[in-house]
């Protein structure tokens, strides 16, 4: 393993922010990991670099997770448990599982990033979350080098949340993720326009591949390709408010879209709030809000991370003043 100094990581963050890491190393094995963590410098683990905004150079060692591998751990007539290296590309994993005839993560197609980042964020889309198929993960505690296993109940999964974003944040290096997938059709087409697109494309039968194709079509239409316009995907979480607070808001904004979480909580699309606050399509220099999806902040070319962060905090203030709702970050800011 080679450790490089003053390494330009612009190509390794999907915002395309031109910053440097004091040190840089690519981790492909557990042995690499043990070696790479032997430093007094701050450590940062990068997967796909799709959920991060750099506002300055990183004065530490960045580890690029490239631990690969996909294998079957156990299998029966109804399901299969797979073990996946944390450095594997998430979307490529989805396509691989579909090709094997397994279902469970087809709704999560085209989500950027690596497999190791998926449980940290509890990624989700179109009615499915990682926790629905997650069984356990393996990780190494960075400070001690101790090997750890986290079962599903240990992860405290929530909406785009887990223990890995809270008490274990920046303390673990995830190496392997175990997912339980079904061999039986258990499809979710109730969210978005998935079923409509399948029908429009001439699909007579709902399959995992058809759902994946529909999700890819929806995401491609709504979200900018980071290879064309720098972005980190959804910048903010969709806020969840108490039912009473929502009812007061609904009196002012009868067309406010919403989703029932439970008897007492309502989820409101953050993109709608940002759009109604007047930010959709906004641009100041090369920092802006995407014209088709207000939830996505973009770098049109040479924006700095600090400029995008200033825009983000200004949007937060604007939405709070208009709706009394505090937007929480979905993205990690350094």
**Could you give the strand order of the β-sheet that contains 287-289, starting from the edge strand earlier in sequence?**
230-234, 296-299, 287-289, 283-284
Element (H, E) at 164: none
Which residue among the candidates 162, 212, 234, 304 is catalytic per the annotation?
234
Percent of the chain with pLDDT over 90: 75
Burial class (CB in 10 A: 0-12, 13-18, 19+), 242: exposed
Each residue's pLDDT tens digit, 25-67: 999 998 898 899 889 999 999 988 988 999 999 999 999 999 9
Asked whether residue 205 carries a pLDDT value surpassing 80, the answer given is no
Cβ neighbors of 244 (< 8 A, separation 6 or more) are none
Question: How high does pLDDT run on average in the chain?
Answer: 93
Q: Are 126 and 188 in contact (CB under 8 A)?
A: yes
Element (H, E) at 110: none
Helix (H, G, I), strand (E, B) or coil at 297: strand
Give 259's DSSP letter.
E
Q: Are 87 and 105 in contact (CB under 8 A)?
A: no
Asked whether residue 189 carries a pLDDT value surpassing 80, the answer given is no
Asked whether residue 129 carries a pLDDT value surpassing 90, the answer given is yes
Cβ neighbors of 208 (< 8 A, separation 6 or more) are 97, 98, 102, 103, 106, 187
Which residue among the candidates 88, 109, 136, 160 is catalytic per the annotation?
160
Q: Reply yes or no on whether 160 is catalytic.
A: yes
Alpha carbons 175 and 179: distance in angstroms, whole number: 14
Q: Reply yes or no on whether 167 is catalytic.
A: no
pTM of the model as a whole: 0.83
Q: Reply yes or no on whether 219 is catalytic.
A: no
Which residue among the candidates 88, 138, 307, 330 is catalytic per the annotation?
330
């Amino acid at each position: 393993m080679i450790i490089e100094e003053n390494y330009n990581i612009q190509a390794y963050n999907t915002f395309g922010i031109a910053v440097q890491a004091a040190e840089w190393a690519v981790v492909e094995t557990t042995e690499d990991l043990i070696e790479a963590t032997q430093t007094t410098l701050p450590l940062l683990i990068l997967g796909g670099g799709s959920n991060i905004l750099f506002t300055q150079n990183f004065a530490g060692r960045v580890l690029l997770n490239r631990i690969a591998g996909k294998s079957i751990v156990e299998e029966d007539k109804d399901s299969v448990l797979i073990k996946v290296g944390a450095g594997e590309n998430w979307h490529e994993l989805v396509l691989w599982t579909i090709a094997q005839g397994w279902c469970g993560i087809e709704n999560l197609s085209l989500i950027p990033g690596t497999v190791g980042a998926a449980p940290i964020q509890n990624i989700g889309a179109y009615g499915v979350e990682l926790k629905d198929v997650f069984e356990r993960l393996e990780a190494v505690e960075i400070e001690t080098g101790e090997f750890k296993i986290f079962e599903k109940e240990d992860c405290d999964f929530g909406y785009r949340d887990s223990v890995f974003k809270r008490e274990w944040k920046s303390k673990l290096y995830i190496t392997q993720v175990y997912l339980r997938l079904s061999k039986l059709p258990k499809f979710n087409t109730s969210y978005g326009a998935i079923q409509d697109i399948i029908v429009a494309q001439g699909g007579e039968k709902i399959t995992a591949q058809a759902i994946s194709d529909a999700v890819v079509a929806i995401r491609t239409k709504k979200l900018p390709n980071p290879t064309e316009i720098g972005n980190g995907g959804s910048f903010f979480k969709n806020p969840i408010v108490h039912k009473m607070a929502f009812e007061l808001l609904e009196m002012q904004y009868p067309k406010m879209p919403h989703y029932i979480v439970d008897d007492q909580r309502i989820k409101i699309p953050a993109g709608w709030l940002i759009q109604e606050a007047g930010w959709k399509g906004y641009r100041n220099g090369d920092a802006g809000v995407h014209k088709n999806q207000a939830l996505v902040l973009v770098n049109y070319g040479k924006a700095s991370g600090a400029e995008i962060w200033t825009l983000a905090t200004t949007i937060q203030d604007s939405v709070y003043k208009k709706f009394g709702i505090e937007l929480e970050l979905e993205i990690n800011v350094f």
